[in-house]
Amino acid sequence: MTEILSPVGVPEGTVTAVRVADHPAWPVLKEAVETIRPWQAKDGSVDLLAEDAPSAATVRHEVDRAIAAIEELAPLLPHNAAYHQALTADLRRWAENGFGVPDFLDSLLAFQPAQQRADGLQHLVVFPMYTQNGNPNRNFEAVVLRMVWPDWLAELERTRYDNALFCGITFEDFTAGYDTNSAVLFPETIAVREAPERFTWGGIFCDREAARFRRVSEAAVATLGIDLPPDIRDMLADQDRCQQAFVLWDMVHDRTHSHGDLPFDPFMIKQRQPFWMYGLEELRCDLTAFKEAVKLEAEGCPQARDVQYAVIFDRMFRFPVTGDRVRNYDGLGGQLLFAYLHQHDVVRWTDNTLHIDWERAPKVTNQLCGEIEKLYRDGIDRPKLVHWFAAYDLVSTYLAPHPGSVWAKGPDALNLDQPPRKLVDDVLPDEFPLSMFYEALAKKLREVIASTKGITAGSDVLAAA
How much of the chain exceeds pLDDT 90, in percent?
91
| Owning domain of residue 167 | 20-200
pLDDT computed for residue 460 by the predictor = 58
Cα(171)–Cα(211) distance, integer angstroms: 12
Cα(288)–Cα(10) distance, integer angstroms: 33
pLDDT, tens digit, for every residue of 388-421? 999 999 999 999 999 999 999 999 999 999 999 9
Residues 426 and 343 in one domain: yes
For residue 460, being part of any structural domain is answered with no
For residue 415, being part of any structural domain is answered with yes
Residues 102 and 237 in one domain: no
Identity of the amino acid at 324: D
pLDDT, tens digit, for every residue of 129-185? 999 999 999 999 999 999 999 999 999 999 999 999 999 999 999 999 999 999 999
Does residue 21 surpass a pLDDT of 70?
Answer: yes
Residues 326 and 386 in one domain: yes
Residues 57 and 97 in one domain: yes
DSSP code string of 386-421: HHHHHHHHHHHHHSPPPTT-SGGG-GGGS-TTS-HH
Average pLDDT, the chain: 93
pLDDT computed for residue 159 by the predictor = 97
User: Within 10 A of 16 (CB to CB), how many other CB atoms are there?
Assistant: 13
Residues 376 and 282 in one domain: yes
Residues 173 and 282 in one domain: no
Cα(269)–Cα(257) distance, integer angstroms: 12
Q: 457 and 170 in contact (C-beta within 8 Å)?
A: yes
The last residue of one of the domains, among 177, 200, 223, is 200
**What phi and psi, each to the nearest 5 degrees, are found at residue 205?**
-80, 95
Residues 181 and 227 in one domain: no
Count of residues for the chain?
A: 465
Q: List alpha helices for 225-274, DSSP H.
A: 230-236, 239-256
Least confident of 10-24, 66-80, 165-179, 336-350: 10-24
Instruction: Report which of residues 10 and 257 the model is more confident about.
Output: 257
pLDDT computed for residue 373 by the predictor = 97
458 pLDDT band (50/70/90 cuts)?
confident
Listed residue (325, 358, 333) closest to 427, CA to CA: 325
The last residue of one of the domains, among 200, 223, 238, is 200
Does residue 30 surpass a pLDDT of 50?
Answer: yes
pLDDT computed for residue 6 by the predictor = 38
For residue 3, being part of any structural domain is answered with no
Least confident of 4-18, 162-176, 371-385, 394-408: 4-18
For residue 462, being part of any structural domain is answered with no
Residues 75 and 56 in one domain: yes
Residues 134 and 270 in one domain: no
Q: How many CA atoms lie within 13 A of 53 on its CB side?
A: 14
Q: How many CA atoms lie within 13 A of 351 on its CB side?
A: 3
Does residue 1 surpass a pLDDT of 70?
Answer: no
Torsion sign, CA atoms 317, 318, 322, 327: negative
pTM confidence score:
0.93
Listed residue (144, 128, 165, 151) closest to 43, CA to CA: 128
Q: How many domains does one find in the chain? A: 2
pLDDT, tens digit, for every residue of 288-335? 999 999 999 999 999 999 999 999 999 999 999 999 999 999 999 999
270 pLDDT band (50/70/90 cuts)?
low
Residues 178 and 312 in one domain: no
Q: 23 and 73 in contact (C-beta within 8 Å)?
A: yes
For residue 267, being part of any structural domain is answered with yes
The last residue of one of the domains, among 200, 223, 251, is 200
For residue 6, being part of any structural domain is answered with no
